[in-house]
Amino acid sequence: MQTDRDHIWHPFTSLVGMSPIPVESAKGVYLFTPDGRKIIDAVSSWWVNIHGHSHPRIANAIYEQANTLEHVIFAGFTHKPAIKLTQRLLSVLPENQKRIFFSDNGSTAVEVALKMAMQFWFNKQKPRKKVIALEGAYHGDTFGSMSVGERGDFTRPFHPFLFEVEYIPVPDAENIDAVATRLTELVSTNEVAAFIFEPLVQAAAGMVMYPAEYLDTLLRVAKDHGVICIADEVFTGFGRTGTLFATQQLSVLPDIMALSKGITGGTLPLGVTTCSEKIEDAFMSSERSHTFYHGHSYTANPIACAAACESFDLLMAFECREAIEQIGIQQQKFAEQISNHPMIRDARACGTILALELETSGRTSYFNQLRNTIYNYFLERDILLRPLGNVIYTLPPYVITSAELDSVHRAIQGFLEFLQTGDGATEET
Ligand SMILES: Cc1ncc(COP(=O)(O)O)c(C=O)c1O
């Protein structure tokens, strides 16, 4: 632990006062610590672990692949795990998706998506320079993905280095006409290269949910003006919103999609960017400057692809699809049941995701002080929740039992009582 304290830099964590909890092993929905704690992972370890920890089938697929072909340069070479994964993904992705580009994580999947869209216009010799994103968006931490995300305290040191982006509000029943009008104004200049969005749920923004029909309205406007539509499904992909992909709930298909997180069941880092024939066509050229010069050392790592194939097969099995449905029903029921609690500002659910916005004197924000009270309260009770400010959310691995999920819901209910009557109420901003 001393080495950790003195030499390891943890993500999204201040170097002052950090004290990470050591985890020795994990199985199913539980994390086990060396001092005997059994912590329920109600957030799927940063939203990646969809089949539970240390799943024997994925572990075995990794072992077999590591003993066969652990890695090979993916420029000029190929291998079965990448081909099998491509076949599996194309069998379920929206029908217009045609080609797969591999990278290592969600940020790079988005980075690749943006670069593909920008080079599409370059190759067409019709340069377009503007990108449109939604307010509150989070698309990752590399420079391109940061540029299209909401600007705030996280990104402030880098603002001078980020490219310009036009933001439009997340559509809702009240503003949809105004947002569509604003988007029409922006795209009518024919300068807009791409529109990027997190379909149905803006995760890091605080699990902000918005209906497919409003997104369809915006996508129609964008498509009418030739704008490339990029669905960032890094978070929503692989069953999170109830369907395999959130875009399956849309009528208008995206041109490019970014995937990661759940793709390997939370075992190994892997990112995927997929594109339609229209995008691919702009790169079908022997002109050297039309080639997509992008790649990573671990592009399409065979072990990660093998893990993803096994995770995909588990996801497609009847039991898993049923589990996703049952979790969805249970989360929705709890959201409805708790929505009138005086400490709840808003309760919402989408697929396997439950989000509860807590009543505080401060505004809803990542930096709301209630965050630490919530985090510590649940950890003391061996429940891992990682609230986004005053938004508590749960999105468990799909192997969670209904009794286990119920115990998390009951703990949340207990916390609300604690807030109403106890010390928690005084700690907010
Ligand atoms: C919608 C979305 N896009 C991209 C990312 C970045 O993914 P990664 O953390 O793997 O770089 C995230 C991460 O939370 C995300 O939620």
Tokens 């964008």 sit on residue: 222
Centroid of ligand 1 to alpha carbon of 140 (angstroms): 5
Atom of ligand 1 nearest to the CA of 260: 10
Band of the pLDDT at 51, cuts 50, 70, 90? very high
DSSP helix/strand/coil, 38:
strand
Tell me the sheet residues that pair with 134. Answer: 168
Contact criterion met (CB below 8 Å) for 107 and 258: no
Band of the pLDDT at 1, cuts 50, 70, 90? confident
Nearest CA to ligand 1 atom 4: 139
Predicted confidence (pLDDT) per residue in 314-366, tens digit: 999 999 999 999 999 999 999 999 999 999 999 999 999 999 999 987 777 77
Pairing label, strands 166-168, 192-197: unpaired
Q: Tell me what the mean pLDDT of segment 77-105 comes to.
A: 98
Q: Tell me what the mean pLDDT of segment 119-125 comes to.
A: 97
Contact criterion met (CB below 8 Å) for 281 and 102: no
What is the distance between the alpha carbons of residues 411 and 40, in angstroms, rounded to a whole number? 12
Q: Tell me what the mean pLDDT of segment 32-61 comes to.
A: 98
Nearest to 229 by CA among 276, 171, 182: 276
Q: Tell me what the mean pLDDT of segment 403-415 comes to.
A: 98
- Does the model's pTM come out above 0.95? yes
Across the chain, what does the average pLDDT equal? Answer: 96
Contact criterion met (CB below 8 Å) for 299 and 58: no
Q: Tell me what the mean pLDDT of segment 163-182 comes to.
A: 98
Give alpha helix (H) positions in 247-301.
277-281
With a cut of 50, say whether residue 428 has pLDDT above it.
no
Tell me the sheet residues that pair with 32. Answer: 25, 38
- Look at residue 429 in the predicted model and tell me its pLDDT: 36
Contact criterion met (CB below 8 Å) for 239 and 324: yes
Nearest to 316 by CA among 44, 42, 65, 87: 87
Centroid of ligand 1 to alpha carbon of 109 (angstroms): 9
With a cut of 80, say whether residue 423 has pLDDT above it.
no
Centroid of ligand 1 to alpha carbon of 133 (angstroms): 15
Q: What tokens appear for 77 in the block? A: 């070479």
- Look at residue 424 in the predicted model and tell me its pLDDT: 55
What is the distance between the alpha carbons of residues 167 and 150, in angstroms, rounded to a whole number? 8
With a cut of 90, say whether residue 144 has pLDDT above it.
yes
Q: Tell me what the mean pLDDT of segment 271-277 comes to.
A: 98
Tokens 């539970």 sit on residue: 52
Atom of ligand 1 nearest to the CA of 203: 16
Band of the pLDDT at 369, cuts 50, 70, 90? confident
Question: Would you tell me how many other CB atoms lie within 10 Å of the CB of residue 50?
Answer: 29
Give alpha helix (H) positions in 124-204.
143-147, 176-187
Report the side by side order of strands in the sheet with 192-197: 97-103, 271-276, 256-259, 228-232, 192-197, 130-134, 166-168
Which percentage of the chain shows pLDDT scores above 70?
98
Centroid of ligand 1 to alpha carbon of 51 (angstroms): 19
Contact criterion met (CB below 8 Å) for 142 and 111: yes
Centroid of ligand 1 to alpha carbon of 125 (angstroms): 31
Nearest CA to ligand 1 atom 3: 139
- Look at residue 396 in the predicted model and tell me its pLDDT: 98
For the chain, percent helix, then strand, then coil, each to nearest 5? 40, 15, 40
What is the distance between the alpha carbons of residues 86 and 272, in angstroms, rounded to a whole number? 10
Taking CB atoms and a 6 Å cutoff, what residues make up the pocket around ligand 1? 105-107, 110, 138-140, 198, 203-204, 232, 234-235, 260
With a cut of 60, say whether residue 427 has pLDDT above it.
no
Predicted confidence (pLDDT) per residue in 276-288, tens digit: 999 999 999 999 9
What is the distance between the alpha carbons of residues 179 and 220, in angstroms, rounded to a whole number? 13
- Look at residue 257 in the predicted model and tell me its pLDDT: 98
Name residues whose C-beta falls within 8 Å of residue 97's C-beta, 6 or more positions apart in sequence: 89, 90, 257, 274, 275, 276
With a cut of 90, say whether residue 18 has pLDDT above it.
no
Predicted confidence (pLDDT) per residue in 255-271, tens digit: 999 999 999 999 999 99
